[in-house]
Amino acid sequence: MDLTIRIRAPFCREDRRRRFKEFVVWVIPKLKAEMGADFRWDEGAIQFEYPPVSLMYYITDTHIIQYLNKYAYSQEQPTGDVVTIRSESTVDFIKSAIAIHHPAGPVDWTPDITNTVCGGRGNPARSAGIKEIGPRVGNLQIKGRGPPKRDQRPLMLKKFEAMLLILLKLANECGEGQIVKKSQYRAVRTGLLMQWNAAARGDNTNELSPSDFKAEAWFDWLFLFRMLWSKNLTKQSDIQDQVVFPAA
């Protein structure tokens, strides 16, 4: 599967296409300011729904985190007392989780409007697809309550950040003739970041280590957008973890 198809794949539904366009509109001026004279694309001619793949290679995980911060907190670099301004529903999160872990072809998300009085069959607003995959998501603990010892999390995060910095250093050491190798280092970095997010959804983050993430797995940075925000936060101190660990 080529890069263009992989980039578009996470945004097959209307909400994802809209969010992708919002991100591109937001990030292009940043790239233009950062790259200066090296920005060789005509900003007025860029189609935000289908931006040039060559431009996408210059987007880093820093851009992604800044955008996710802005999306969730309205600030690119949120302070310690910030609170979320936007969240996704639990049902939307379940859709996203099952799409990541169990891609099984088309699923019917149409609400079960015939079940107006429930009749013991559950929530009438939920579709057949939700009713089918809900228990599987629960059994996989994708909606886990988080690690029991939260004080251990900063140590794990520091180890992970150190690994990302090593990859960034390798990318920055690439010469002008090594643009492909440089983009590969960046792709590995963002792929690791995506895998960390995904693993934090389903496992106890205290039991993870950097060796659990496979550098050879190439994931495009846009797959981060499949990790939708959840409203199920038990306390305000959990909010900050959403930036790196999207809380279920």
232 falls within a domain: no
Alpha carbon separation from 136 to 49, 75, 97, 117, 240 (Å, rounded): 33, 35, 10, 25, 28
> What is the per-residue pLDDT for 46?
80
Number of structural domains, the chain?
Answer: 1
205 falls within a domain: no
> What is the per-residue pLDDT for 51?
75
> What is the per-residue pLDDT for 76?
78
Sign of the Cα pseudo-torsion (224, 225, 227, 233, in order): positive
- 127 forms beta bridges with 111
41 falls within a domain: no
Q: How far apart (Å, rounded) are the C-alpha atoms in residues 31 and 34?
A: 5
122 falls within a domain: yes
Please list the alpha-helical segments (H only) found in 77-152: 90-101, 128-139
Q: How far apart (Å, rounded) are the C-alpha atoms in residues 196 and 208?
A: 9
Query: Which parts of the chain sit beneath pLDDT 70?
Result: 1-19, 49, 61, 64-65, 68-69, 71-73, 79-172, 174-248
> What is the per-residue pLDDT for 63?
76
Number of neighbours of residue 118 by Cβ within 10 angstroms: 10
Range of the domain at 94: 90-139
77 falls within a domain: no
> What is the per-residue pLDDT for 3?
41
Cα–Cα nearest to 226, from 195, 182, 184: 195
100 falls within a domain: yes
72 falls within a domain: no
> What is the per-residue pLDDT for 7?
42
> What is the per-residue pLDDT for 180?
57
> What is the per-residue pLDDT for 166?
64
136-149 tens-digit pLDDT? 544 443 333 444 44
Residue 41 in tokens:
């694309």
107 falls within a domain: yes
Rg value, the chain, Cα: 19
The model carries a pTM of 0.37
